[in-house]
Structure 1
Amino acid sequence: MKRKSRGMDRLIAFFIVGAMVLIILAILMGSYFFGFIGFLKVMGVEYESYWAIYLFLFFIFVFGFIAFFKDTHFFNEECQTE
């Protein structure tokens, strides 16, 4: 039997690891999304559509990211050159 090339082995390994990472991220984000929908149901909150919930959670993540990193060098005005 002929051995596969080393590059092909790396490509297959990269694909498998990438697929696993995407599956894990999908499970985490899905559980967060549907958990939030369940929380809203328990609290009696009504909403227009799932897209409204999705956009709300997206903006929460974006603003949370900005608030978390606002004190870093990237957002610090004193460190920026003019």
Structure 2
Amino acid sequence: MTGEAKRRRLAAGDLKDPDEEPISARVVETCRIGRGADCCRFLTFRNGFHCGKHDEQLASQIEARRPVMVAQGDNCEGFPLEVIL
């Protein structure tokens, strides 16, 4: 599956591919994965989705890269740095 096809499926909420693990409602609705500039810039992935907002070092790296990032959102107060289930 191409990257563009996958982005369209994520944006449409079509998560029925048996080879893909379902993405949590929080990542889809709050973080807005697959929504381009609306996607939260603090959403990270490392063995699962994480919120990088409260990790000072990671957040500062994200802010430094913001001018070249597609994701520009700051969609909530943040979640503890744990896997977003």
Scaled to the shorter chain, the TM-score interval is under 0.3
Question: Which TM-score applies when normalising by structure 1?
Answer: 0.26
Q: Which has the larger radius of gyration?
A: 1
